[in-house]
Amino acid sequence: MSDNIHKYEEVRAVARELGFDVQLMPGLKLEVQSDSIEEVSRKSAILAYLLVGRPLLVEDAGLYIQALRGFPGPYSSFVYRTIGIQGVLKLLEGTSDRRACFKSVTTVIYEPFIIVERGEVCGFITDSPRGSRGFGFDPIFTPEGSEKTFGEMSLEEKNRYSHRAKSVYSALSKLKKMMEQSGWGPGNVLKLG
């Protein structure tokens, strides 16, 4: 469901930590539109599972900017494609409130389990882009506790703060615990949607 190699690399690093192998599912993109990233993640995962019939993981995220009343939120991908980083910075011109949070929801379907977990990191929007790593709004977001933007961080650095790493880690940790309680072990392949 995702062709985003950057997202895949972030998720794969977390999954490996927990003993899971995650593979990319290029070409299959089912994204539900909603004002809720939880609904987008959960419904997209269920639809994808009905199509592929295999264990899978779907993660959806959004950038919520305080001065813009949470915009772009669940529409972050669309906003990035249409007005981009410069458009968002233009919307923030004249405001001193640069607070923002990245929020993520990960849904894992591994029958009979359906797990939905959240992750969040707050920080602020910079005045100009910094760094060329990551993707999307990473070059203008600095998490609390860091002076670097996500765009300036290595994958390992970003995953120490990342909303995505938090939601994926939480979902896969819960899955691992449930599997162990059921007498299963990880090592099976999850598809990334």
d(CA 43, CA 66): 27
Amino acid at 165: A
Here the tokens at position 169 are 């880690």
Domain range holding 115?
Answer: 5-192
Q: Which of 3, 21, 35, 60 is catalytic?
A: 60
How do residues 7-23 score in pLDDT, each as one tens digit?
999 999 999 999 999 98
**Model pLDDT, residue 27:** 65
- CATH of residue 165's domain is 3.90.950.10
Number of domains into which the chain is organized: 1
Identify the DSSP state of 110. Answer: E
pTM for the whole structure: 0.90
The set of residues, in sequence order, having a beta carbon less than 8 Å from that of 126 and lying 6+ positions away, is: 98, 139, 140, 141, 142, 149
Mark whether 60 is an active-site residue: yes
d(CA 177, CA 167): 15
Q: Give the total residue count for the chain.
A: 193
Helix axes 5-17, 163-181, angle to 10 degrees: 40
**Model pLDDT, residue 1:** 44
d(CA 187, CA 18): 9
Task: Write phi, then psi, for 89 (nearest 5 degrees).
Answer: -60, -35
Identify the DSSP state of 116. Answer: E
Here the tokens at position 163 are 């909303």
The set of residues, in sequence order, having a beta carbon less than 8 Å from that of 186 and lying 6+ positions away, is: 18, 19, 20, 175, 176, 179
How do residues 111-161 score in pLDDT, each as one tens digit?
888 999 999 999 999 999 999 999 999 999 999 999 999 999 999 999 999
* Mean pLDDT for the stretch of residues 22-45: 84
